[in-house]
A and B are shown apart, each in its own frame.
Chain A
């Protein structure tokens, strides 16, 4: 029966992630942004507490936990610094196609060496056609943006297949619109050999679903940060003789921002819960990503708005949240593809539309 209580283990993980994010990430977010990365001391502490390994199989030293654990951590990290959340995760969502298509063997071959190399990063890119030309398992072309300064492994996911590239990748640094703490590059593939390639539609769908959920959880964290920061500011800041939060125009905006965050979060939790139960969840993940994208574009620009002129200045974090939210929803095919996928699922179904899982 309907129950939103998190299991003790999950609550502990969430708490640990929150404490780490509060102590290590949020106070240094602008420093990470300037440095285009997270310093070694922070990365070491992150590795020590083991948050990065919750979703990895036990064979790779992971905890073998599911999607709920993952989204709880991602929200907490992103509520401090979404760019740092990406920078701290060497595999990132590239884990999903490797695991779905290649199983343990692929993880052993591609993930293990990457994890053994400090600072190495894997990059997941959705459908590189027509930017990448493939001739005899060799790829050439340019990808306009990935949120990383390194690409030790590139996994390209398409509707029916995935392939991996480990050499022949050159990163041209970009300024990046947001998520600068994760880095930003234009990827150049120069006769890069495709070292592994898998074909199977259901796996591709499942991998894409999890990647979308990953981005959606980060979006929830970012918009929560924006809503919380601007709310606290509005309670302090005085105008016309009272806190600006006590003018109804702003009070109601703040309540709607809180509702937007909660709405997106509930869809993310619902999708993660479905994944962990082994339910079909591709649509729920696409919907969560869409909702998080749309709501984040209500919340984060209004976060800037509430701070007025200060909001536009980089002395305050709200402008960063706005840029990060927009950048996150461009990943993994973006909102248009998610809308197509969720919509196709809807019109394929028959009879009354189930909103949630009944039994």
Chain B
């Protein structure tokens, strides 16, 4: 057993800390004040590209060797833990800015898992050494289907060599600035998950329109965008995995598996937000000279203890992933626990700063708004509990 970080991870964390202090935190506060996402032409994104960030984990050479278990598996050995620590640290400085980072984003795991070698080349190669900031996006959620992903209504209809997509998508991160969006649609809504198909819809495709950047409670630095597909014609070469992939009825499973590696990562982001709230609350208490009062101290003590436990849950899930061991239960546990712990941290922080929190311009107040999303994205706390219950008590699936 070892609960330390290796030198590589510590070094990358130190870099993230520098970037966080100097740029990420100020950008997040600015976006929050102005109530709009950081625009894609902001020089910050250029800086990230120069630092070697905003890239894909896919590698053409690993792909050529046919080594699908390494580069193309999101649970590749040895990367989850470091990624997770970085996610936590970036979220500590600003989770909204962290999500706005260029790169293939949440579309990447789906392309990696379902895409053919040609498709990976077509959609991911541009992210290997991007000359300028570019984004990918992922769209599953719809106005009428969130947690119940099997209930999506966006239709995919075959037309010669193409597919015609019709429907509406909601809350897709970075969608309006993305080079492409992984869009889930159904060929037959009555088939539930078996009817799902994943398409890569490229920017400028006619019928891909009506981008609306939503107004959010928090996390304003990245865009959560709704859009529509109106007779949107997509070549069959953009159907991820091709027809044969779905003949094996693996379509939906692919999508669900892709959430697997990210759940502990999102949980770790919650820990980062909670940790920011703890540090700010403690600094405020010190500045006010009340940190030794038992009521104050007890709150802070509880926050630290629960955040530590949440971090350890995340670490364990990532460690299992790194060793290709089943982590469904642990990943969902981390995702179910960490956001509520982090919300408690921000909420107790609000109590400690008192009326100052009511002003609407204190970092803790922002964190309190930001953090709520963490119990919703990547599967709500309730969905995590259903997943855990399937493991623990064989809870039957709804469909």
Contacts and interface: CB of A to CB of B under 8 A. Distances in A.
Interface of A: 1-7, 10, 68, 231, 234-235, 243, 245-246, 248, 251-252, 254-256, 258-259, 262-264, 266-267, 269-270, 273-274, 287, 290-291, 339-340, 342-344, 346-347, 352-353, 355-359
Nearest to B299: A343
B301 A255 contact: no
Interface string B131-163: 000000000000000000000000000000000
A340 B10 CA distance: 32
Nearest to A264: B309
B333 A359 contact: no
Given A262-B313, A352-B279, A355-B307, A3 B336 contact: no
Given A2-B315, A246-B393, A251-B386, A269 B298 contact: no
A358 B307 contact: no
B313 A266 contact: yes
Q: Identify whether the interface residues of B are mostly helix, strand, loop, or mixed.
A: helix
A72 to B, nearest CB: 10
15 contacts: A1-B9, A3-B3, A231-B392, A246-B393, A251-B385, A252-B389, A267-B309, A270-B3, A290-B301, A340-B294, A344-B297, A347-B286, A355-B308, A358-B5, A359-B10
Nearest to A269: B1
A235 B394 contact: yes
Interface of B: 1-6, 9-10, 81, 271, 275, 278-279, 282, 285-286, 291-292, 294, 297-298, 300-301, 304-313, 315-316, 318-319, 329-330, 333, 336-337, 382, 384-386, 388-389, 392-396
A6 B336 CA distance: 26
Given A1-B2, A2-B319, A291-B309, A231 B393 contact: yes
Contact of A4 (B9, B298, B316, B384): B316
A347 B2 contact: no
B1 A255 contact: no
Q: Identify whether the interface residues of A are mostly helix, strand, loop, or mixed.
A: helix
Given A2-B319, A251-B393, A266-B313, A346 B1 contact: no
A346 B304 contact: yes
Given A2-B2, A346-B282, 9 more contacts: A231-B392, A254-B393, A255-B333, A255-B384, A343-B298, A343-B301, A347-B286, A356-B3, A358-B10
B301 A270 contact: no
B2 A263 contact: no
